[in-house]
Amino acid sequence: GENVEQHPSTLSVQEGDSAVIKCTYSDSASNYFPWYKQELGKGPQLIIDIRSNVGEKKDQRIAVTLNKTAKHFSLHITETQPEDSAVYFCAASKDSGYALNFGKGTSLLVTP
């Protein structure tokens, strides 16, 4: 089955700096790669996703890049703010409407 690895497990940055979280996946049949943010006591919330026919996608301060050949994808958060502090999960899926295989998560702390 699909195996998703995520690094780092914890990340601490100063407010205004950039944060990068990286994931690799094993199944070349995966075509859908979402990123979720989970705040304490809440369910995961989708922040951005990318499909295999796209190499990069950006939404304001958040961007995701995908390298299908190398089977890795990354989340980039620029101009970080304290409210970005949360656990971030990457995931991979065969296609739309299929089960998500999650990485172990990255706990991001943004200090003022």
The residues of the shown chain that bind another protein, judged by CB under 8 A, are 32, 34, 36, 42-46, 49, 89, 96-105
Nearer CB in complex with another protein: 30/101: 101
C-beta of 56: minimal distance to another protein in Å? 19
Q: For residues 68 and 78, which CB has a smaller minimum distance to another protein in the complex?
A: 68
Q: CB 17 → another protein: shortest distance, Å?
A: 27
DSSP characters over 41-99: TS--EEEEEEETT-SEEEETTEEEEEETTTTEEEEEE-S--GGG-EEEEEEEBSSTTS-
| CB nearer to another protein: pick between 25 and 36 | 36
Distance between CA atoms of residues 101 and 92, nearest Å:
5
| Diameter of the chain measured on Cα atoms | 41
Smallest separation (angstroms) from another protein to the CB of 88: 12
The Cβ of residue 80 has, within 10 Å, a number of other Cβ atoms equal to 21
Shortest Å distance, C-beta 16 to another protein: 30
Reading the block at residue 20, the tokens are: 């990068």
* 23 or 80: CB nearest another protein: 23
